[in-house]
Every structure is written in structure tokens, then in C-alpha cells.
Chains A and B, each alone.
Chain A
Amino acid sequence: AQSVTQPDIHITVSEGASLELRCNYSYGATPYLFWYVQSPGQGLQLLLKYFSGDTLVQGIKGFEAEFKRSQSSFNLRKPSVHWSDAAEYFCAVGARNTGFQKLVFGTGTRLLVSP
């Protein structure tokens, strides 16, 4: 079974500084990997996804993530954080079986942005 670890529960970053959120996964086959963002009381918005090809994927809002198979990681990065990026970020790994995608989420990382 797949699993996801997000080792950082909270991260505080100054506005304009760079950001890296860590995500490690466990899955026997090539995973489908996703990053979602959730603002308080809101739904899950997909930032980016990886399922094959180029290991550096670009997403919305200036985010990118790099799939590193050797490290079983899929860390999310942004070169310059904006105050509006403050939210909960979830990494998820998918086990796709005959067309059905079952996502397992990490416990999330709450990003706080300081002035």
C-alpha cells in the first residue's frame, strides 16, 4: 500500500523568500504524485501533478516540484512566496489500478507567511 510523509507540520516563511515543502512517498511501482493546496474552509485545489516524463513539473501560481525516484521524494518549491500562499499543502500519491485512482494524502504542511 502507498503512503506519504510530510515531515513538516508547520513552516513559516518571510514574504518574498523561497519555499520548499518536503514530501516522501512509499509505493512499489511508479507513482502518480500530486500537490494540493487548501485554504481554510475551502476545497482542495490541484497545484501540480506528476505521472510520467520530465521529473521537474510546473504548476499553477508559480509552484514547481521535482520527482526524485532515488529519494522517493516529490518536494514542492516556489522561488518567492506571496502572502496569499498561506494555506495548508497536501502531497498525495496515487495508486492507479485499471483506471481508478486512489489517492493517499500526507498529513499536510501549514504554511505561514510573515511580513
Chain B
Amino acid sequence: AAGVIQSPRHLIKEKRETATLKCYPIPRHDTVYWYQQGPGQDPQFLISFYEKMQSDKGSIPDRFSAQQFSDYHSELNMSSLELGDSALYFCASSLYQDPTGELFFGEGSRLTVL
């Protein structure tokens, strides 16, 4: 079965650079979530989208922005990167109508800021 696809899987950037992460949800899933997992930390919710509209917002820095496109894929844009942004970024997708509310996670994109 198709899963959530994230790209790139690994990314290395310098401080103050910009990075873009992409997420392709499971087909027919209409909701996308972004989570950030720092080294040795639990995943923290950043932001979510439903039908191209932001549905919820967590601890996402102002330097970050995200959007969901008409094909439901999502992109997380990170600017003025800081060392503390080094983390594993997970994307998850779900179907709004699913009563279980289960999120399906991708393998993650590992960002390293030097």
C-alpha cells in the first residue's frame, strides 16, 4: 500500500540558509500534519492543513511557513536556519472522515544545520 512520501530524506544546510521539505500524503488523504523531532526528543506538532487551509498550529517558529497544494501535497519552508533547527521532520496524513483519526507517518526528513 502507498505510504506517506517525504523528500528529501536527508538535507544539510548552513546557518541562515533556507530549506524546503516536501510531503506527499497517502492517496485520498486530505489532511497533512508536520511534526519536528529534535535529537532525543519526542515529536512536536508544528502545523496541519485540511483542504489547503491551515487547520491547526502548534509550536512553529515564525521563520517557518507551510502550505498544502491542490493535489494535497504539502511543503514546509524554513528560512534563516539556526543550529537548533537540526531535527527529524515528520509529515503525517489522515482522512478527515476517518472516525479513528489515525495519522500515517512518513519516514521523515532529517535536516542538519551546520
Partner-B contacts on A (CB < 8 A): 32, 34, 36, 41-46, 49, 51, 90, 94, 96, 99-108
Contacts and interface: CB of A to CB of B under 8 A. Distances in A.
Contacts of A51: 99-101
Given A43-B108, A51-B101, A103-B103, A90 B43 contact: yes
Which label, helix, strand, loop or mixed, suits the secondary structure of the A interface? Answer: strand
B85 interface: no
Please tell me the size bucket of the interface on B. Answer: 20 to 34
A100 B50 contact: yes
Contacts, number: 63
Contact of B94 (A43, A101, A104, A108): A101
Contact of A96 (B33, B48, B101): B101
Contact of B96 (A34, A100, A103): A100
A104 B107 contact: no
B96 A99 contact: yes
B42 interface: yes
Nearest to B94: A101
B111 to A, nearest CB: 13
